[in-house]
Amino acid sequence: MTTPPALELPARSHPQREEFDWHPRAIGSWIDGLPLANLAETGPQVFRALNRLNRWSLPVGERLAALERLLPLIDYLVHALRRHCLGRPLPLRGNAAGAATLARRLLAEAALGHEIAATEVPSGLRRRRRVALALEHALRLRGRELLEHWLAYAPPGEGLWARVHRLFALAEAEGVAGVRVRASDGGGASPEEAYKQLLLCAAIGPHRLDQHEIVEVWELLGRLADSARLGEAGADEGTDDAVYRVPRSADGPPHAAIPELDRADDRTLQTTPLLQRLRRALSGGQGRSGELSRLDPELSGRIALALAAVPTRRHRRLRAEARAEVQAGFRQVHATLCERLGRRADAAERERSRFEAGTPRAEQSARPDVWSVLYPSELLASLREADRVSDDVPAAPPSEHAEDDIWQLVNISASGYCLLSGDQAPRRLTVGELLLMRELAGRGLPMQLGAVRWLRAAPRHGLEVGIEILGSDPVPLELRAELDDGRFGPAERALLLPRVEGRDQPPTLLAPGPHFVSGRRARLCHGNRETELDLLRERDGSAHYVQLEFRRHSDAGDSDGIETLFRG
């Protein structure tokens, strides 16, 4: 057995039972008295209990039993705290940031307790299984700590990746890396499987996924991790073809297998067996009726693509010192373009007028007006003259650009931009959302439509956003989608992108709804007329939009009013 790597562990002293009774039955009674609905009170209490346990010298069996009793409560708290963070503006601030921090600290303390247990297991017949159990739980909990960082698009804490790598090295040194034990989630797993799950999730790039997709990918890879292979570069057959390398001691995630990043002692992460299993499941073969029966084909296809090859950068990044006006979200983009063109709001925003006729009764006219009830005139008369608001005070003239809409350009390439929101306010953005931007460096610059490809919360600086430009000068439209029964639905906001010559991209339509599907029809509303379109190949898409090529339907009527739009 090789020398196990050293873990930094806290100093431990004699336990104080009067401060916290660590025996399982006492912990059960303590949990029964906690106000579980009050996360602000229960969360810190559980953290303090874990902190005490990790600073006391306890027998390994008692430490593991106490942690085992607390794990279900920690699971409950982490999932409850996560609900306060998902879908919130980024970077997280206030209560949302506090909830995310508390969830990560609970997981870190629980992992630390199992790390202490793994290093203190005495020799004996059950030593290997106890060490394997403690290290599997520790790696799984450290992985979940990373998961909470990913869900906030925040960088992992300093030293977290190095600790994860040392934990697996310890499992190898103890000879228990492949020993399957009862996992912390109730199933069976080994320390190696727990390690590979977090490696695979990091390799895919969680900052390129929506928050709910990150959770789905984490759970899916937990079921597929046993199919991946860890090896030694150059030592095993086929390892030289591995797409990813894993550092043994560096404080970092897996990286692309390219010479500039490789180290002599790196491990290899081989994904070919996992991809074969995933493809069988997607094609309806083995696995569709079992553990992989609920695979999302679209998300699984993106996972397979990410694990099959590391995308290489096609264009060089250049530093940029400029600002840009930005509007985020399909609805906001459409409204901004309509406003700039002097058009009315789209039909989706206009409610149909509804009228009712009736004969007023005499007693109705005698009832007091609602405003008289809310703001009686005698109260208004009692106000001092200085407290009254005058309708004659002119409103302050609006600025040309709202400060919250101005972003900083970090760098630029031929395919897109990296933007920084600044620290003035958090942003409610998700991966796959549309962005409309225009550089403020000079007059006459075009409006550019882009899609959010990745997010990173930059501490004390704001939110970094990676944008892929889809096209310039989009035109706001209204489309009616063909429904399943052949009828056409109500008008929905849509965008027309002119031809992009550099990409050989014809004019395309962007629409938000699930009914806009390749192979169906749509009707373009222009004035009081409609033109029928055939929706062709899908070029791009996300949960927020779909980009489709199109042509005019062969049976469409007169379309003189939109001829210029189709020319791009």
Report pLDDT for 316: 54
Mean pLDDT of the region 469-481: 93
Q: Which of 81-85, 100-104, 264-268, 380-384 has the lowest mean pLDDT?
A: 380-384
Question: With contact defined as beta carbons under 8 Å apart, do 433 and 451 qualify?
Answer: yes
Is pLDDT above 50 for 394?
no
pLDDT the model gives residue 534: 94
Q: Say which residue, 197 or 428, is predicted with more confidence.
A: 197
8 A C-beta contact, residue 114 and residue 101:
no
Q: Is 230's pLDDT higher than 60?
A: yes
In the predicted model, is pLDDT for residue 407 greater than 70?
Answer: yes
Please report, for residues 386, 389, 434, the alpha-carbon distance to residue 380 in angstroms, rounded to integers and kept in the order given.
12, 11, 48
- Of the candidate ranges 54-63, 92-101, 224-233, the one whose mean pLDDT is the lowest: 224-233
Looking at residue 532, its amino acid is E
Q: What is the pLDDT of residue 73?
A: 97
pLDDT at 353 over 50: no
Q: Please state, for a pLDDT cut of 90, what percent of the chain lies above it.
A: 53
pTM of the full structure: 0.81
d(CA 514, CA 243) in angstroms, rounded, equals 35
- Among the residue ranges 18-27, 335-344, 420-429, the one predicted with the least confidence is 420-429
**317: confidence class by pLDDT, cuts 50, 70, 90:** low
Beta strands of 233-368 (E only): which ranges? Answer: 244-246, 255-256, 267-270, 318-328
Rounded Cα gap, residues 412 and 426, in angstroms: 23
Is 147's pLDDT higher than 60? yes
Q: What confidence score (pLDDT) does residue 382 get?
A: 43
Q: Please report, as a single letter, which amino acid is at residue 508.
A: T
Q: Please report the pLDDT score of residue 389 as a whole number.
A: 42
pLDDT at 423 over 80: no
Element (H, E) at 167: helix 160-173
pLDDT at 97 over 80: yes
- Residue 290 pLDDT greater than 60, yes or no: no
- Average pLDDT of the residues of the chain: 82
The residue-averaged pLDDT of 451-474 equals 89
**Looking at the predicted structure, is the pLDDT value of residue 243 above 90?**
no
> Could you report the per-residue pLDDT of 123-139, keeping only the tens digit for each?
887 899 999 999 999 99
Identify the weakest region by mean pLDDT among 22-26, 300-304, 376-380, 427-431.
376-380
Per-residue model confidence as pLDDT tens digits over 428-454? 889 999 999 998 876 667 899 999 999
Residue 255: what pLDDT? 86
Mean pLDDT, residues 284-292: 53
Task: Report which of 191, 183, 194 is spatially closest to residue 145, judged by C-alpha positions.
Answer: 194
Is pLDDT of 460 > 70? yes
Would you state the pLDDT for residue 406?
86
**What would the pLDDT profile of 491-546 be if each residue is shown by its tens digit?**
999 999 999 887 788 999 999 878 899 999 999 987 788 999 999 999 999 889 99
Picking from 360, 385, 394, 388, the residue whose alpha carbon sits closest to that of residue 375 is 388
Ordered by where they begin, the domains of the chain are 1-202 (no CATH), 318-342+402-472 (2.40.10.220), 475-567 (2.40.10)
**Residue (of 302, 125, 274) closest to 214 by Cα position:** 302
Over residues 450-474, the mean pLDDT reads 89
pLDDT of res. 428? 82
The pLDDT of residue 2 is 60
Name 455's bridge partners. Answer: 465
User: Model confidence over 22-40: pLDDT tens digits?
Assistant: 999 999 999 999 999 999 9
